[in-house]
């Protein structure tokens, strides 16, 4: 008698006060709580051990009846080693066959005054957990089942589990251990049971006195459901990140001459790329998940996307709309250039002006706007219609000049990227561009859709024009510092103004913040044509001739399309989101164009 704790040392190393550290099979679902933490809490007497429950209990029962009422254990396969040991012992401890009687008695005695758990309707020793808030009993088996609802991408909140009894938030329990100790944490002195066997203590188990106060969720006595599932926050963060990634996707806009043209969609993470990462991604297209994804999009035929899920199709359509917009822009550019050329030829005959100067002049109609990129972004554009009308005219507004002046840093980074020598006409541009930005540009251009790609490679081919361009006035991007569009139209986020955004922005051009509209899709492709505007501008005269006409019509219709036509794409949300790292100036109106174009295309 009484050798349960001493002689059963080996076994009791895995028990606490005659209960187990692991569940006894009341529930069969996944054990998604942190079992080591639960075990620790049990050993620390902050959580009741997992006792084998009694199917029923009567005060008048003797020990044998109690032990007989103990719940059969589940098949050993689903239990771990500790449970298995007990499973093989019916009412006896297998570890000590010669002296089974005594430990059994102790095992039975703990059940004196057993209480029913109101959730599983099984009986447990009276030293059971109680809810911190309303002091209701709950067994450990049931407690570990209670958890937060898993967050999903459509429901991104994770409320703490509520008390099943009183529905108070932050469910937690308090455990009052018995005055004696046995097994783990008894420090070898757990003799209370051994010496005065069946004395007052077993027969008079500690009765639970209804306490007056409830415990706060952060009381040291309390074990909350979050404590045994410390990963809940990580899970929530993961879902949040996934959603944010989708929502942060942007259209990459290229500024060419007086226009902003959409050339691609970022993965939503592009703004977080460091130059090193970008270089790595460019150098080793197979290296990372990200680059694989980009590669999947690169140069793939349209039909390949058509079979994809709706969200991918949506992105594809957007991309197509951008392509059309680009073509239209090229057409516009071409006409303009032709006009300019005629004028120049007439006005400045005999000056020996090169094609470059011609092109440059076409881009810079006013003395105050020397670069090819002055007109599209309108710092204070109060409405999309205003913006569009001014954008479609080639007259720079005085405000543009102002905003340009205020953006010295942006200009700087832009000139840097412009200062590279245009590559020779390569089949694969990436092979010829050693610098990281150039690499990024290369793979981005490859990632663009096939038509855009051909356009861009044509742009690369047109080196003479581009070179001339580069030699011309230092680039001045009219990035507008006006932080917020005042009208509820989606905003363009212009990268490159702030230093941390420079690596990406300087090569990718402007990004339009339409992410939310695309939030439903996965980020399939990224990047568009991070070629410099000079290249692109020159490309217009190369390529636009054959494709311009049909597209121009649709583009024109865009201008008259009210923003509300694209309202289903959740514009409002765009304004709410701040984009800390690649942000910047927001200009109303333009994204509408892209999106309306997308709709136009979709309805065709």
Partner 1 sequence: MASISSRRLAKELREIQAEGCPVGISLVEANDFSKWVFTIQVMGDSLYQDEVHTLQFRFDPQYPISSPAVQFVVTDGKQAPIHPHVYSNGHICASILGNEWSPVLSVIAVCVTLQSMLASCKKKERPADNDRYVKHAPENPKKTLFHYDDDTV
Structure tokens at 41: 């809490």
The nearest distance, CB 26 to partner 1, in angstroms, is 5
Q: From the centroid of its chain, how far is CA 511?
A: 19
8 A C-beta contact, residue 257 and residue 363: yes
Which of these ranges, 73-81, 247-255, 461-469, 503-511, lies near partner 1 under the rule CB under 8 A?
73-81
Give the nearer residue to partner 1 in terms of CB position, either 97 or 310: 310
Question: Which of 106, 142, 228, 459 touches partner 1 (CB under 8 A)?
Answer: 142
Name which position in 21, 22, 26, 377 contacts partner 1 (CB under 8 A).
Answer: 26
Phi, psi (degrees; rounded to nearest 5) at 138: -150, 130
Cα–chain center distance at 580: 15
Closest CA to 477 of 458, 496, 502: 496
> Residue 165 interacts with partner 1 (CB under 8 A)?
yes
Residue 161 CA to residue 172 CA, distance in Å, equals 9
Which residues, 6 or more positions from 405, have their beta carbon under 8 angstroms from its beta carbon? none
The helix (run of H) or strand (run of E) holding residue 520 is: none
Q: Does 145 bind partner 1 (CB under 8 A)?
A: yes
Min dist. Cβ of residue 122 to partner 1 (A): 7
Site for partner 1 in 93-122 (CB under 8 A): 118-122
Residue 241: count of CB within 10 angstroms of its CB:
12
Among 28, 207, 212, 603, contact with partner 1 (rule: CB under 8 A) = 28
Q: Does 157 bind partner 1 (CB under 8 A)?
A: no
29 sits near partner 1 (criterion: CB under 8 A): yes
Compose the 208-247 pattern: x for residues touching partner 1 by CB under 8 A, - for all others.
----------------------------------------
Instruction: Give the nearest distance from C-beta 230 to partner 1 in angstroms.
Output: 20
- What residue has token string 């080196």? 463
Which whole-number Å values give the CA distances from 469 to 33, 465, 572, in the listed order? 63, 6, 39
Comparison of 91 and 295: residue with beta carbon closer to partner 1: 91
Q: Are 374 and 398 in contact (CB under 8 A)?
A: no
Assess 89 for contact with partner 1 (CB under 8 A): no
Q: At what angle do helices 436-447 and 289-297 cross, to 10 degrees?
A: 50
Stretch that binds partner 1, among 26-34, 42-50, 353-361, 428-436 (CB under 8 A): 26-34
Closer CB to partner 1, 239 or 460, in the complex: 239
d(C-alpha 533, C-alpha 256), whole Å: 5
Output the CA–CA distances (angstroms, integers) from residue 479 to 114, 390, 400, in the order listed: 75, 16, 9
- Cβ proximity to partner 1, 164 vs 366, nearer residue: 164
- Cβ 121 to partner 1 shortest distance, Å: 4
Phi, psi at 493, each rounded to 5°: -100, 120
- 3-class DSSP assignment, residue 574: helix
Does residue 64 interact with partner 1 by CB under 8 A? no
What is the DSSP code (8-state) at residue 288? S
Residue 120 CB, shortest distance to partner 1, in Å, is: 6
Q: Give yes or no for residue 474 binding partner 1 (CB under 8 A).
A: no
Q: In this chain, which stretch among 72-80, 93-101, 175-183, 363-371 interacts with partner 1, using CB under 8 A?
A: 72-80
**Number of other CB atoms surrounding residue 199 within 10 Å:** 11
The yes or no reply on residue 164 touching partner 1 (CB under 8 A) is yes
Minimum CB separation from partner 1 for residue 451, in Å? 39
User: In the complex, what is the shortest distance from the CB of residue 168 to partner 1, in angstroms, rounded to a whole number?
Assistant: 12
Establish if 25 lies at the interface with partner 1 (CB under 8 A). yes
Nearer to partner 1, 145 or 476 (CB): 145
- DSSP-derived secondary structure letter, 488: S
Task: Compute the least distance from the CB of residue 76 to partner 1, in Å.
Answer: 11
Asked if 74 is part of the footprint of partner 1 (rule: CB under 8 A), the reply reads yes
DSSP per-residue codes, 36-102: HHHHHHHHTTSS--BPPPBS---TT--HHHHHHHBPPPPPGGGS-HHHHHHHH-SSS-TT-GGG-HH
The yes or no reply on residue 572 touching partner 1 (CB under 8 A) is: no
Q: Cβ of residue 164: shortest distance to partner 1, in angstroms?
A: 4
Q: Name the burial class of residue 355, with classes exposed (0-12), middle (13-18) and buried (19+) by CB atoms within 10 angstroms of its CB.
A: middle
- Contacting residues for 116 by C-beta, under 8 A, at least 6 apart: 57, 122, 123, 124, 137
The stretch near partner 1 (CB under 8 A) out of 159-167, 281-289, 369-377, 395-403 is 159-167
133 binds partner 1 (CB under 8 A): no
Distance of CA 314 to the CA centre of its chain: 20
Q: Which residues bind partner 1 (CB under 8 A)?
A: 25-29, 72-75, 118-122, 142, 145-146, 149, 162, 164-165, 167
């Amino acid at each position: 008698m009484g050798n349960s704790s001493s002689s059963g040392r080996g076994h009791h190393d895995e028990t606490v006060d005659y209960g187990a550290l692991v569940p006894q099979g009341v529930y069969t679902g996944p054990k998604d709580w942190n079992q080591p933490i639960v075990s620790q809490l049990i050993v620390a007497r902050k959580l009741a051990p997992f006792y084998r429950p009694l199917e029923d209990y009567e005060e008048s029962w003797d020990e044998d009846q109690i032990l007989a009422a103990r719940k059969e254990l589940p098949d050993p396969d689903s239990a771990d080693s500790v449970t298995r040991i007990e499973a093989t012992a019916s009412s006896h401890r297998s570890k000590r066959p010669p002296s089974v009687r005594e430990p059994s008695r102790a095992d039975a005695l703990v059940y004196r005054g057993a209480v029913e758990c109101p959730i599983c309707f099984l009986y447990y020793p009276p030293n059971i957990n109680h809810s911190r808030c309303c002091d209701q009993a709950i067994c450990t088996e049931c407690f570990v089942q209670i958890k937060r609802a898993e967050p999903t991408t459509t429901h991104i909140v994770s409320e703490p589990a509520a008390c099943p009894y009183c529905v108070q938030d932050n469910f937690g329990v308090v455990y009052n251990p018995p005055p004696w100790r046995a097994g783990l944490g008894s420090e070898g002195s757990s003799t209370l049971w051994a010496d005065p066997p069946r004395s007052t203590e077993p027969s008079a188990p500690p009765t639970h006195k209804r306490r007056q106060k409830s415990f706060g969720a952060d009381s040291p006595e309390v074990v909350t459901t979050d404590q045994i599932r410390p990963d809940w926050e990580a899970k929530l963060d993961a879902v949040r990140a996934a959603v944010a990634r989708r929502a942060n996707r942007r259209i990459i806009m290229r500024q060419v001459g007086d226009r902003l043209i959409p050339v691609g969609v970022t993965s939503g993470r592009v703004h977080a790329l460091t130059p090193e990462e970008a270089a790595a991604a460019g150098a080793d297209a197979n290296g990372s998940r990200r680059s694989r994804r980009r590669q999947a999009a690169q140069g793939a035929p349209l039909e390949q996307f058509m079979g994809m899920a709706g969200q991918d199709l949506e992105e594809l359509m957007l991309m197509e709309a951008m392509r059309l917009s680009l073509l239209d822009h090229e057409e516009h550019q071409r006409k303009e250039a032709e006009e300019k050329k005629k004028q120049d030829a007439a006005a400045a005959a005999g000056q020996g002006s090169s094609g470059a100067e011609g092109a440059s002049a076409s881009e810079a109609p006013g003395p105050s706007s020397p670069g090819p990129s002055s007109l599209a972004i309108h710092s204070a554009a109060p409405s999309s219609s205003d913006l569009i009308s001014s954008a479609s005219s080639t007259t720079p507004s005085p405000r543009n000049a102002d905003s340009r002046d205020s953006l010295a840093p942006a200009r700087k980074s832009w000139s840097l990227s412009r200062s590279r020598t245009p590559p020779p006409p390569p089949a694969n541009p990436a092979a010829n561009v050693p610098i990281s930005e150039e690499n990024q540009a290369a793979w981005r251009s490859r990632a663009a859709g096939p038509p855009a790609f051909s356009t861009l490679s044509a742009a690369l081919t047109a080196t003479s024009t581009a070179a001339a361009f580069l030699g011309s006035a230092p680039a001045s991007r009219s990035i507008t510092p006006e932080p917020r569009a005042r009208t509820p139209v989606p905003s363009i986020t212009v990268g490159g103004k702030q230093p941390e955004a420079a690596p990406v922005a300087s090569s990718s051009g402007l990004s339009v913040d339409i992410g939310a509209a695309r939030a439903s899709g996965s980020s399939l492709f990224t990047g568009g044509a991070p070629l410099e505007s000079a290249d692109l501008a020159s490309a217009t005269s190369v390529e636009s001739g054959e494709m311009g006409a049909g597209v121009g019509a649709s583009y024109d219709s865009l201008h008259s399309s009210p923003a509300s036509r694209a309202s289903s794409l959740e514009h409002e949300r765009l304004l709410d989101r701040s984009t800390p790292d690649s942000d910047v100036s927001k200009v109303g109106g333009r994204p509408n164009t892209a999106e309306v174009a997308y709709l136009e295309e979709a309805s065709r």
